[in-house]
Amino acid sequence: MPEKTYLQALNEALRQEMERDEKVFIMGEDVGQFGGCFGVTQGLFEKFGEERVRDTPITESVIVGCAAGAAASGLRPVAELMFVDFIGVAMDQLFNQAAKMRFMFGGKATVPMTLRMPQGAGIGAAAQHSQSLEAWFMHIPGLKVVIPSTPYDAKGLLISAIRDDSPTVFLEHKMLYGVSGEVPDEAYAIELGKADVKREGSDVTIVATSLMVHTALAAAEKLKADGIEAEVVDPRCLNPLDKYTIIESIKKTNALVIAHEAVQYAGPGAEIAAMAAEEALDYLDAPIKRVGAPFCPVPFSPPLEKAYIPDADDIVAAVKSIR
Amino acid sequence: MTPDKKTLVHMYETMNKIRMFEKKLQDFFAAGEIPGFVHLYLGEEAVATGACSALTDKDKITSTHRGHGHLLAKGGDLKLMMAEIFGRKTGYCLGKGGSMHIADLDLGILGANGIVGGGGPLATGAAFASKYSKADTVTVCFFGDGASNQGTTQESLNLASAWKLPLVFVNENNGYGISCPQCKSMAVTDIADRAAAYDMPGVVVDGNDVLAVFEAVSEAVKRARNGEGPSLIECKTYRWRGHFEGDACTYRCQEELDEWMGKDPIPRFEAKLVESGAVSKKEAAAIQDRIAKEIEEAVTFAKQSPFPDPSELLDNVYA
Ligand SMILES: Cc1ncc(C[n+]2csc(CCOP(=O)(O)OP(=O)(O)O)c2C)c(N)n1
Ligand SMILES: [Mg+2]
């Protein structure tokens, strides 16, 4: 299978979906000739033209709302915000409009829009360009929340997100864009709401998302040296959440650690922990542990940023506290 | 309104300070010594300098992601700025903010801003506070052509006008928001035309002419202090560098850049100063030497300063 980067995989998904369905179009800031701030839309303007790859003004609330309105009017928009942090400007259009339209209108509206947004720290971009906000989106009924960790998943999940008839928030991690992996050339869809076991193990389940999947895999290698076999489960979607795969893993390992880059307090791990406590407590023989960012904005200075981002040692320590 | 000699000299110093500061950053960024992003103000020095020269120390500004020029023009400390941009503990924000978040509340600087359009509402608040507490201060909101399209900016223009706030909106129209040229992001040619929608004066000035900017902003400041409400001043200018350092700038052509570099605001101003006798060539050179030295000192200060300690991470989340 050919090797591609996460970024190339996303680009390929966009291209193939645009070839397949002319209702699919792209809009966002600098997504045209410039190719997107991180390069995800590179080459698409040249291939599909400015009608279908649309540069917008700096106007996030209209980017999101225009996507919702166009989606409700029969198109299949893929909108990009340059950084997830800018959703603050546009939140009303996402959570009061796009997410609720179908329900409020008694099932009459369909809003098949995809909103792509890069998340995460690691490039010294500081407090307003580095956050991980998946918990915000998980909390809104009506939105689907997709958060791929590998190039393979990125392509298959983006294709599914585009084909899905509900508004879907698609969260990329900027530190993953350059990561390579095997990606088929042809289009393929990965069902939304299906977790993937990234590593099998018998002693502890580590549920990790996005970049933290890779950190968890590194932690698992360290743990292996100490005789602990960790199973790493990547939910890939936070809504719908694949409870079944997580619980099956817990049944096997009897211990749960959850790792994400979002702020730990009221983060996505809180929901996963609560779900495990409600539905799998009998299988747990130790307290559930969470690893997430500390309760502060993302700092600028490199040593602070490094301390902010959870690392493999943090995950190892969490596992060792129960195993 | 012709500025006195002291003001003229100060303007000249400020423009050179911004120019040299940014050139230093350009070099250090290229050498990989600065983390994160830097958005340089090279070529736009006359806007911040002209506007801030029309303000008192008590007046306030809100800045942008391209903020170094505004901060220096409002009196920002070279050492503290440099240290912050280098991520050091001795910097303005203790290393927590970086280039896009430098602030000095004592100098009336309500912060650079990582969010395009983030400054307008804050400036509205600062201007409201001034009116509410009868403080006689004016706020200047710097914002780009790109930022002018954000709802937050338009809403701020409206509220400031409805409440007759002492606020001056200084638009820096450098023709682009990243790669997007003005003609693709709005149908108007002059952003100042939008002032009419809010029933406030809208003025277009040559943003590479520091005296023109000074004059227009001074007039607007006077209006604001008199309780006549906000104004919108559009300064036409150009950024010499890419949007951020590292931007290959494929969206614009060399001729355009050359044309604007030919309108370099510093030699234009210097020629006027020398011609009018306000500053001699020798004095101008001495000013440049002194500033170059101050900047070297700031670099030394920054580089010799420690990084913050991870134990400081959770400080200042709450008051
Ligand atoms: C809300 C928001 N949207 C997008 C960005 C990304 N961004 C940073 S600067 C910029 C362009 C700003 O253009 P303009 O206002 O003209 O200022 P200039 O960079 O030209 O000084 C963009 C799109 C951002 N920081 N915040
Ligand atoms: Mg601009």
Q: CB contact, 8 Å: A307 with chain B?
A: yes
Domain end point (choices A121, A153, A182): A182
Question: What are A166's two structure tokens?
Answer: 């509900």
Nearest alpha carbon to residue B205 among B221, B195, B190: B190
Backbone phi and psi for residue A289, each to the nearest 5 degrees, phi listed first: -120, 145
Element (H, E) at B166: none
Query: Are residue A117 and residue A55 in the same domain, yes or no?
Result: yes
Whether residue A296 and residue B88 make contact (CB cut-off 8 A), yes or no, is no
The fraction of chain A above a pLDDT of 70, given in percent, is 100
Q: Per the structure, how many domains does chain A have?
A: 2
Please report whether residue A190 resides in a domain. no
Q: Rounded mean pLDDT of A291-317?
A: 98
Please report whether residue B317 resides in a domain. no
Q: Provide the pLDDT for residue B256.
A: 98
Cβ neighbours of A3 (radius 10 Å): 10
Residues of A taking part in catalysis: 129
Q: Is the CB of A12 under 6 A from ligand 1?
A: no
Please report whether residue A189 resides in a domain. no
Please report whether residue B185 resides in a domain. yes
Over chain A, what is the mean pLDDT? 98
Which residues have C-beta within 8 Å of that of residue A22, sequence separation ≥ 6?
A52
Domain end point (choices A160, A182, A204): A182
Question: How confident is residue A129, by pLDDT bands cut at 50, 70 and 90?
Answer: very high
Please report whether residue A83 resides in a domain. yes
What pTM does this model have?
0.98
Cβ neighbours of B196 (radius 10 Å): 11
Query: Are residue A26 and residue A117 in the same domain, yes or no?
Result: yes
Q: Per the structure, how many domains does chain B have?
A: 1
Please report whether residue A253 resides in a domain. yes
Query: Are residue A93 and residue A115 in the same domain, yes or no?
Result: yes
Whether residue A297 and residue B314 make contact (CB cut-off 8 A), yes or no, is no
Please report whether residue A255 resides in a domain. yes
For chain B positions 84-123, those within 8 Å of chain A (CB to CB) are 87-89, 93, 95-98, 100-101, 113-118
Range of the domain at B75: 5-301
Whether residue A126 and residue B117 make contact (CB cut-off 8 A), yes or no, is no
Q: Is the CB of A63 under 6 A from ligand 1?
A: no
How far B100 CA lies from chain A's nearest CA (Å)? 8
Query: Are residue A167 and residue A21 in the same domain, yes or no?
Result: yes
C-alpha of residue A41 to centroid of ligand 2, in Å: 22
Query: Are residue A315 and residue A171 in the same domain, yes or no?
Result: no
Query: Are residue A20 and residue A141 in the same domain, yes or no?
Result: yes
Please report whether residue B19 resides in a domain. yes
Query: Are residue A62 and residue A149 in the same domain, yes or no?
Result: yes
Q: Provide the pLDDT for residue A15.
A: 98
Query: Are residue A255 and residue A289 in the same domain, yes or no?
Result: yes
Q: Is the CB of B115 under 6 A from ligand 1?
A: yes
Please report whether residue B314 resides in a domain. no
DSSP assignment of B96-124 = SS-GGG--BGGGTB----SSTT-HHHHHH
Extended beta strands in chain B, E state = 60-62, 139-144, 167-173, 176-177, 180-181, 202-206, 231-236
Query: Are residue A245 and residue A127 in the same domain, yes or no?
Result: no
Q: Provide the pLDDT for residue A81.
A: 98
Query: Are residue A113 and residue A261 in the same domain, yes or no?
Result: no
Please report whether residue A98 resides in a domain. yes
Query: Are residue A245 and residue A178 in the same domain, yes or no?
Result: no
What is the rounded distance in angstroms from the CA atom of residue B144 to the CA atom of residue B138? 20
Partner residue opposite A86 with nearest CB, options B89, B115, B179: B115
Q: Provide the pLDDT for residue B221.
A: 98
Range of the domain at A269: 196-320
Please report whether residue B271 resides in a domain. yes
Q: Is the CB of B142 under 6 A from ligand 1?
A: no
Cis-peptide into A240, omega within 30 deg: yes
What is Dmax (Cα atoms) for chain B?
56
Q: Provide the pLDDT for residue B2.
A: 82
What is the rounded distance in angstroms from the CA atom of residue A308 to the CA atom of residue B313? 8
Please report whether residue B282 resides in a domain. yes
Question: What are A294's two structure tokens?
Answer: 């500390």
Q: Give Cα A172 to chain centroid, integer Å.
A: 5
Question: What are A102's two structure tokens?
Answer: 């179908």
Q: Is residue B182 a contact partner of residue B214, using CB atoms and an 8 Å limit?
A: no
What is the rounded distance in angstroms from the CA atom of residue A169 to the CA atom of residue A190? 15
Query: Are residue A203 and residue A173 in the same domain, yes or no?
Result: no
Q: Provide the pLDDT for residue B46.
A: 98
Question: Could you tell me the CATH number of the domain that includes residue A274?
Answer: 3.40.50.920
Mean per-residue pLDDT pooled into runs of 10, chain B (319 residues): 91 98 98 96 98 98 98 98 98 98 98 98 98 97 98 98 98 98 98 98 98 98 98 98 96 97 98 96 97 98 98 97
Please report whether residue A130 resides in a domain. yes
Q: CA B305, B307, A125, B93 torsion: positive or negative?
A: negative
Please report whether residue B272 resides in a domain. yes
Q: What is the pLDDT of residues A161-218, one digit of tens each?
A: 999 999 999 999 999 999 999 999 999 999 999 999 999 999 999 999 999 999 999 9
Please report whether residue B318 resides in a domain. no
Please report whether residue A188 resides in a domain. no
Q: Rounded mean pLDDT of A282-308?
A: 98
What is the rounded distance in angstroms from the CA atom of residue B31 to the CA atom of residue A142? 47
Q: Is B222 exposed, middle or buried (0-12, 13-18, 19+ CB in 10 A)?
A: middle
Q: Provide the pLDDT for residue B286.
A: 98
Question: How confident is residue A97, by pLDDT bands cut at 50, 70 and 90?
Answer: very high
- Whether the per-residue pLDDT at A87 is higher than 80: the answer is yes
Q: CA B67, B73, B76, B80 torsion: positive or negative?
A: positive
Nearest alpha carbon to residue A90 among B124, B151, B120, B158: B151
Question: Could you tell me the CATH number of the domain that includes residue B269?
Answer: 3.40.50.970
